[in-house]
Amino acid sequence: MLKVKKKAKPEKILLGEEIYILWQDGHESRISYFDMRDACPCASCVDELSGEKTLDSTKIPKNIRPLKSEYVGNYALRIYWSDQHNTGIFHYKMLRNFENSQK
């Protein structure tokens, strides 16, 4: 019988010196604020047609911080950044895979 892998869902998300995520399966993720802001998937940061990044990383303040965050349904997290950017919706699957893509 084929086992269906459960969708990655966070148990807890904390905004401290970095984004800390405790996943329901016990896995822990830590993502720097700069890296997270730099990976924003919104249409202002990524070309909608080509999928190419349009955000200039050098324009992101080194001390970027989240002002607040909110859950989007049962599938994503929105972060309101100190540079006034707030249109990025970070799907849980993206967050779970994020740390592996940064290595």
Residue-wise pLDDT for 36-67, tens only, equals 999 999 999 999 999 999 999 999 999 999 99
Residue 100: pLDDT over 60: no
> What pTM did the predictor assign?
0.85
pLDDT band, residue 6 (cuts 50/70/90): low
Domains within the chain, CATH numbers bracketed:
10-101 (3.30.2020.30)
Average pLDDT for 29-35: 96
Q: Give 72-78's long-range contacts (Cβ < 8 A, gap of 24+).
A: 74/9, 77/10, 77/13
